[in-house]
């Protein structure tokens, strides 16, 4: 297993906020083509870890490698340039704008020609065609790309946000609580989409509090605890209660049977 290619890797990340140590030498490994869930109690350092990986914060110590190359992100834009797309919780879409516009927000296709480039005239038809193609590719069943995102259900909105990330990510998709506040059916719709993203070959980092969702979809589970990585477990061999026990500190990782670790 350890010979599998690592898409993203972090060693000994430390992040301090004044007196508080959010990350205390955490390690992290993301393999090619997997869905890696990151779970942990509040304050376990999972959001700090994700922020460091997505460029939203700069770690004080440690190194991050992408495809074996050491990288230093100074902003989310840097991470995006390296092909890492992040969907932030609740902050993903512009509701009154169309699906096509949301998919291309900040990356609008500009018409060709000197005049069009100078005035930055957008090519709506091309954006529309591309949107249809990309949504079909991910089998997102939304009929019209010209409807405003606010006319969609919560799950469909989240699908738009995830599709945008998947469409532009070259390396990694990071999803922060993508199924929070969604009903069962809607949540499953998003989970289906995340699977299809993985099946297209993009590794996914999934931060979630929803244990059934994590167990349904994750290939491996990274358990964050006290600013470190407690362990990485295999959801096919470990029970949900053991996972929660490790997460909360009721059980030490070395008490787990060896086959549970991944």
Partner 1 sequence: MSSSKFPKLPPVATLGPLIALVLAVGFFATQSDRFLSVQNFSLILQQVMVVGTIAIGQTLIILTAGIDLSCGMVMALGGIVMTKLAVGSGMNAYLAIACGMLACMAFGLVNGLLVTRVKLPPFIVTLGTMNIAFAITQLYSGAQTITDLPPAMTFFGSTVVFGNAAINYGTVFMVLMYALVWWGLRDTQPGRHVYAVGNNPEATRLTGIATDRVLLGVYVLAAAFYGLAALLSVARTGVGDPNAGQTENLDAITAVVLGGTSLFGGRGIVLGSLLGAVIVGVFRNGLTLMGVPSVYQVLITGVLVILAVATDQLSRKGAR
Partners of 21 in the beta sheet?
16
Rounded to the nearest 5 degrees, what angle is found at the Cα of 45, between the Cα atoms of 210 and 55?
100
Q: Candidates 12-20, 80-88, 177-185, 196-204 — which segment interacts with partner 1 by CB under 8 A? A: 80-88
- Measured CA to CA, the distance from residue 67 to residue 71 in angstroms comes to 10
- The two beta strands, 228-233 and 220-225, are antiparallel
Q: How many CA atoms lie within 13 A of 40 on its CB side?
A: 27
Q: Can you read off the two tokens belonging to residue 174?
A: 């990071």
Q: What is the DSSP letter of 143?
A: S
- Binding residues for partner 1 restricted to 122-151, rule: CB under 8 A: 122, 124-125, 128, 146, 148
User: Which residue, 61 or 150, has its beta carbon nearer to partner 1?
Assistant: 150
> Does residue 258 bind partner 1 (CB under 8 A)?
no
| Shortest Å, Cβ 144 to partner 1 | 9
- Binding residues for partner 1 restricted to 146-165, rule: CB under 8 A: 146, 148
> Does residue 97 bind partner 1 (CB under 8 A)?
yes
Site residue total, partner 1 (CB under 8 A): 28
| Shortest Å, Cβ 90 to partner 1 | 9
User: Which residue, 119 or 240, has its beta carbon nearer to partner 1?
Assistant: 119
Q: What is the DSSP letter of 111?
A: P
| Shortest Å, Cβ 128 to partner 1 | 6
> Does residue 107 bind partner 1 (CB under 8 A)?
yes
| Shortest Å, Cβ 176 to partner 1 | 11
Residue reference for tokens 């991470």:
79
Residue 65: strand, helix, or coil: strand
Helix axes 124-137, 154-168, angle to 10 degrees: 100
Q: Candidates 3-11, 15-23, 83-91, 212-220 — which segment interacts with partner 1 by CB under 8 A? A: 83-91
**Rg (alpha carbons) of the chain, rounded to whole number:** 19
Q: Candidates 3-11, 113-121, 199-207, 220-228 — which segment interacts with partner 1 by CB under 8 A? A: 113-121
> Does residue 80 bind partner 1 (CB under 8 A)?
yes
Determine which residue in the list 29, 82, 101, 186 makes contact with partner 1, applying CB under 8 A. Answer: 101
Which region, left, alpha or beta, applies to residue 130 given φ > 0 means left and ψ of -120 to 50 means alpha?
alpha
Residue 80: strand, helix, or coil: helix
Binding site for partner 1 (CB under 8 A): 76-77, 80, 86, 88, 91-98, 101, 105-108, 110, 119-122, 124-125, 128, 146, 148
């Amino acid at each position: 297993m350890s010979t599998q290619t690592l898409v993203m890797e972090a060693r000994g990340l430390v992040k301090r906020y004044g007196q508080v140590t959010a990350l205390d030498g955490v390690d992290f490994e993301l393999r090619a083509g997997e869905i890696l869930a990151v779970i942990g109690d509040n304050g376990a350092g999972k959001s700090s870890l994700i922020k460091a990986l997505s460029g939203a914060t700069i770690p004080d110590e440690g190194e991050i490698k992408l495809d074996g190359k050491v990288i230093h992100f100074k902003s989310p834009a840097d991470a995006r340039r390296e092909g890492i797309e992040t969907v932030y919780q609740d902050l993903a879409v512009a509701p009154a704008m169309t699906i096509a516009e949301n998919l291309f927000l900040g990356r609008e296709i500009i018409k060709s020609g000197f005049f069009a480039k100078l005035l930055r005239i957008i090519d709506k038809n091309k954006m529309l065609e591309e949107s249809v193609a990309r949504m079909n590719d991910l089998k997102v069943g939304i009929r019209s790309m010209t409807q405003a995102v606010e006319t969609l259900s919560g799950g469909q909105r989240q699908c738009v946000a995830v599709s945008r990330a998947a469409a532009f990510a070259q390396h990694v998709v990071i999803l922060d609580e993508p199924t929070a506040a969604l009903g069962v059916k809607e949540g499953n719709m998003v989970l289906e989409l995340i699977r299809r993203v993985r099946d297209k070959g993009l590794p996914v980092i999934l931060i979630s509090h929803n244990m059934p969702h994590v167990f349904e979809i994750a290939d491996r589970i990274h358990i964050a605890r006290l600013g470190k990585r407690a362990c990485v477990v295999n959801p096919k061999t470990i029970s949900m209660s053991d996972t929660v026990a490790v997460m909360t500190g009721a059980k030490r990782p070395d008490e787990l049977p060896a086959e549970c670790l991944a």
